[in-house]
Structure formats: C-alpha cells, structure tokens
Structure 1
Amino acid sequence: MSSVKIENLDWVTYKSLTESGQCRIILPVGAIEQHGPHMSLNPDVLIPSHIGEKVAERSHNMLVAPAISYGYKSQVKSGGGNFFPGTTCVSGASLENYVFDVLQAYVNHGNREFILINGHFENSMHLCEAADRLVNKCKGEGISIKIYLLSYWDFISEETIEKVFPDGFTGWAVEHGGVLETSIMLKLHPELVDMSKAVDVEPATFPPYDVFPPDPSWVAPSGTLSSPLNSTPEKGEMILEECISGIVSHLN
C-alpha cells in the first residue's frame, strides 16, 4: 500500500482497496482550541491524526481518513472554555450529524468497519450518538457495520503516568495544555511549541458544578489548566508509543 492516508490515494486505488469491505477506516476527530500561549490551536487534530497513521502502518488493511478538525464546544473545566480567541467549535448536533454523514459516505463506498480516534474530550458523547445512529440505520437496511470509538489517552498506563509525573499526577481533568499534550507536541511538531511562552500555573480547581454562561474567572488567563513547564519530547515519545502499541494490540 503506497499510503495509508485516503487523501493521498487516487480514486481507482481507493476503490480497489475498499469496495469489498476489506479495509478498516480510521477517522480522527479533534478540535481547534486554544492550548495556552506556548502552543498552536491544533494539537487535538494533529495528535489523533498521527496516532491513526502509525496504527494503520503497523496493521493490515487500514486506511486513515482526513481528520474532522472542528469539535464540540470547549468546556471550562476540561478545555478552558469557549471564550478564548482561536477556539472555534460547533454544536453537538452539528458534530454528530457531520460525523454521521462522513461515515455514511464511507459505508456507501463499501467500507464496513471504522475506528474513531478522538482527540478532544468534549466530543465523546456526540461521537457515541453518531455511531449508534449509523449502526442502527445500517442494520435496518440489512448492512452490518462495526464502529470502534476510543480516546487515545485511555491507553496511557499508570506506570507511564508515574514516569511523566514523578512528583505526582494532579489528574486528567486539569491536563488541558499541560505536560501530556505539550510533551507529545514537542515530539511531533516542535515548531508549533514555544516553551519560552509557557506559563507556570497551579492545577486548576473548580466547584462541583458548571454554570452558564461560563465564568472566565474560573480559568487562568493563560488558558491552561495545569503547568506545561516539565514537558519534554522524551515524555512525548513514551506516551505516543504506549498509545499506538496499545491501540494496535487491541484492534489486531
């Protein structure tokens, strides 16, 4: 296979690889969202896209679809909130319908098995809804499909967390723009990270509820929910390898 990326294939090659349902299609789904002043807006797209490509390269009969870049609205307690300039989000209904339509198009091509790799926490339930709707629609039409939905961070073990955070892990809820994402980006795209702009902040603390409209004072002015200062490309490489190998072992 010359490329695992669908957009790099001509249509004749793509047809020959997929028309009998022999390929599994990976669809990365991310978001355009601020990740602090030290990092670009697109880690939630770049990270699952890279992981998808590496999973496909290590597997048989997998292709990676172009990523869906716009995700569900950033929430204060997981992404800093939807009020930061650059954070560009869509409604849950829009994301659900868009993912549904894209997957339906791939079903029409003959594909029958899909892997959604999520890179943005807030997307999760809307991806569940899109997958459930499509499976039921296809079942009613006599078509059997299977959709796996995963978030890459669920493949990071406690042992790796201890290595990445030797002084203690403050929890997934405040990792937005912190050490995990920054380390991965330092490994994948160091040109999109400027650690001289990184802001040292204490891990965010929140009340046990949400409020609408969101309150910007709940979030540090940097937009990050924890400090990225201890990020390194070596940590990023370790995290990525565990995620990629874990996904491959579960799906092959």
Structure 2
Amino acid sequence: MICRRKFTFVGIYLAVLSMFVFLSTYPSAASVLLEDQTWTELRDLIKSGTTTIIVPIGGVEQSGPAMALGKHNVRVKYLAGKIAERLGNALVAPVISYVPEGSIDPPTGHMKFPGTISISDKIFEQLLESAARSFKLHGFTTIVLIGDHGGYQADERLVADRLNREWGNTPARVFAALEYYEITNGAYVEKLLSSGAKSNEIGTHAGLADTSLMLAIDPSMVRMDRILAAPKLGAADGVYGGDPTRSSAEFGQMGVDLIVNGTTDAIREFIANRRRPQ
C-alpha cells in the first residue's frame, strides 16, 4: 500500500512537472505582447499575417489618495491585450508611460501632486513617431495608437495624420483610435447612469467611473479603505467632479466591455476602409 501511494504521488508530480515544462517552453503561444516574443517568433508572426500592432499609451499621474499613480499604465496594457485577442491578428507594444501631464515650472494640473511625471508635447510626438517608424520597418502595416488619458488625444491624431501623409505610397498606416477614450466619456457614462449610478458620482477623474474601471481590472491599485473613510475625497485631494464611494468592479466591467468592443470595431472598420476601392 505504501509503495503504491508513493508511486501514485511520484506519477502525479512528474505529470504536473512535465506540463509546467511544456507550457514554459512556449511562453509566446498564448501571449499577445510584443515583448514576450523572440525576434524570430515575431518575424514568423508578421509573415503569417499578424500585421497590426497596438501601441498602448498610459501615463504616471495622481488619481487621488485612493488610486495608485500607475493607473493609466496598468489599465491600458490590460485593455490593449483584450482588444488584440479579439482582433486575432494583432500584438501589443510596450506601454508608453512618459506623457504630457502639464508644465513643470510652474507646475500645473496633476503636476501639483507628487509622483506625476510630464514631458513636452513635442518630445511625446517624437516618441510616438519613432515607435511607429520602427514598427513599419519590421513589417507592421496597421499601427494603432490608444491613449488612456485625455491630455494627449490631439497629439495622437497629429502624429497619425503626419505619418499617413508621408506614407501615402506604402501599405503602412497609423490609426489614432480616439474611440478608446471617447467611450469612457460617452457610452460608459450613459451605461452607468442607466445602471443606477448618479451623475454627481461619476466624475471626470478618480470618481466612480474611473475607480470602478480600475476595480474591474486590478483592485490592488485601489485603496477602498481610504475611499470609505471620512472625510469624503474632493478636488483638493485630486478627485474631480465625482464621488468614488459606490465604485465597484461590476460598474467597471461595463466600461471594460464597452471599451474593448468599441475599440475593436473601430480598428476593424479602419482596416476595412483601407481595403475598399477608392
């Protein structure tokens, strides 16, 4: 009996170990992240039709005392991954986390709060352009910019328009998918209101909508104990136009679904329009 139990235990252990080794041998198989691929794996993916690259743009900024500084980076990476999975022929570039957040001297906007990092619009646009040129060089034909923060949406459009004019006689195009951000201010707000949230709770920054999205994606980034403690958070704390007290992962998941589905549809439409005869 003892020998049989030992044999069974050893068999199970070896089976689990073998499965772990097998899965770890192919880390890129289930990953849509560019940085998880080797260069040869990437080359083969592009040759086989994976020619769309999503460039997620985040930022490091204050989001009140109850939400971590890296909110935008975590959120845009997660959502970009979901969008790429839905597209089926796309990869996700590393997150661009250094973005315009206001002037430094004197500090404006979020720069008045410790931890916020800002660069100029010019440097930001050059960064986007250099990344896009790199992707074009290696064979990507659709380069999608998605930004999680409102302050640089116009920069995304400027870069896309500029490169598309330059690349007019090539297969490569840049798509500034502004729908990604617009959904958070439109369809997501409407969905929250129809689901019981109040307009004075939703907010424009670190309110119910913003906080709920983070709870659905990574609750470790949210300090619910601080949200529920008195006094209520307000503008002096970096929470603008809303109240995060009733934030929930359920509210947030509504936004996740809308953003992923809406952005995926917009990217597909952009690609389809390029293929139609002019």
Q: Normalised by the size of structure 1, how large is the TM-score?
A: 0.82
| 1:64 CA displacement | 0.6
Match among 186, 194, 205 for residue 223 of structure 2: 194
Match among 124, 127, 132 for residue 98 of structure 1: 127
58-67 or 149-158: which moved more? Answer: 149-158
Q: What is the distance in 2 between the residues matched to 1:2 and 1:195?
A: 33
Q: What is the distance in 2 between the residues matched to 1:192 and 1:98?
A: 27
Q: What is the distance in 2 between the residues matched to 1:165 and 1:16?
A: 48
The two structures, once aligned, show a CA RMSD in angstroms of 2.3
Q: What are the ranges of 5 or more consecutive residues in structure 1 without an aligned counterpart?
A: 203-219
Matches within 5 A, 1:79-228: 80-139=109-168, 142-151=169-178, 152-156=180-184, 157=187, 159-163=190-194, 166-168=197-199, 174-198=203-227, 200-201=232-233, 220-225=235-240, 226-228=242-244
Q: Percent same amino acid at aligned positions?
A: 28
The alignment of Structure 1 onto Structure 2 pairs a total of residues equal to 228
Cα distance change, pair 110–19 in 1 and its aligned pair in 2 (3 A): farther
Secondary structure of the corresponding residue to residue 53 of structure 2 = strand
Q: For residue 136 of structure 1, what is the amino acid of its counterpart?
A: R
| 1:42 CA displacement | 1.3
Q: What is the distance in 1 between the residues matched to 2:244 and 2:32?
A: 32
| 1:136 CA displacement | 2.3
Residue aligning to 1:40: 68
Q: For residue 39 of structure 1, what is the amino acid of its counterpart?
A: M
2:74 corresponds to 1:59: no
Q: For residue 175 of structure 1, what is the amino acid of its counterpart?
A: T
Residue deviations 1:58-97 (CA, integer Å, cap 9, x gap): 122111111101111248xxx9432211000110001000
Q: For residue 124 of structure 1, what is the amino acid of its counterpart?
A: Q
Cα distance change, pair 159–129 in 1 and its aligned pair in 2 (3 A): closer
| Larger helix share, 1 or 2 | 2
Secondary structure of the corresponding residue to residue 72 of structure 1 = coil
Q: For residue 160 of structure 1, what is the amino acid of its counterpart?
A: K
Q: What is the distance in 2 between the residues matched to 1:82 and 1:19?
A: 44
Residue aligning to 2:7: none
Q: For residue 246 of structure 1, what is the amino acid of its counterpart?
A: G
Cα distance change, pair 137–249 in 1 and its aligned pair in 2 (3 A): closer
Which structure would you say has the larger Rg? 2
Q: What is the distance in 1 between the residues matched to 2:49 and 2:174?
A: 13
Q: What is the distance in 1 between the residues matched to 2:201 and 2:129?
A: 35
Q: What is the distance in 2 between the residues matched to 1:167 and 1:221?
A: 21
Q: What are the ranges of 5 or more consecutive residues in structure 2 without an aligned counterpart?
A: 1-28, 269-278
Q: What is the distance in 1 between the residues matched to 2:142 and 2:93?
A: 13
Q: Normalised by the size of structure 2, how large is the TM-score?
A: 0.75
Residue aligning to 2:274: none
Q: Is the 8 A contact 1:36 1:222 kept in 2?
A: yes
Residue deviations 1:169-203 (CA, integer Å, cap 9, x gap): 577xx51111111111111111111122226346x
